[in-house]
Amino acid sequence: MNMQKSLIRVCILSWFVFTGSTVFADGDLRYAIIETAKQYQGVSYRYGTGGPDTFDCSGFVRYVYRMATGIELPRTSKTIGASGQSIRISEAQMGDVVIFASQGVINHVAILLDADSIIHAVSLGPKTGVIISSLQDRYFGPRIIGVRSFLLPDE
């Protein structure tokens, strides 16, 4: 492991110790993101909010990342979609952020759970709040435009 990666890991782990959060072993930040996200399943959707009692999509992703890793993401879907490292969906790992657009405009973000599912905050008729959806979902599937990673490759 190179010196920069070591320093980043020390800083992240120090944050966990300082804040009293659970410390996860090397490579488990992705697991921490997923476990944190799942804790909020069923929480209500409300546009413009960032939790923990209500979320919009970017507020949810941002809140989960902050709580699970200490990483501060930008506030909006558009700015999250322009941040981090762009990766191919075929290389995406759990905890990466999936970016969606309608008519060429980024308008939604979600956290990748596994090869076929995401967790996100939505407001679509009966599907409201923090839910798990398939990447094959008729609405969301065709709107995927990319994936962003905010973690080092081996975390």
Report the catalytic residues: 57, 108, 120
Strands 85-87 and 117-124: unpaired
Name, in order, each residue with C-beta under 8 angstroms of 17's C-beta and a sequence gap of 6 or more: 23
CA distances from 51 to 19, 45, 133, 152 (A): 19, 9, 20, 26
Beta bridge partner(s), residue 102: 105
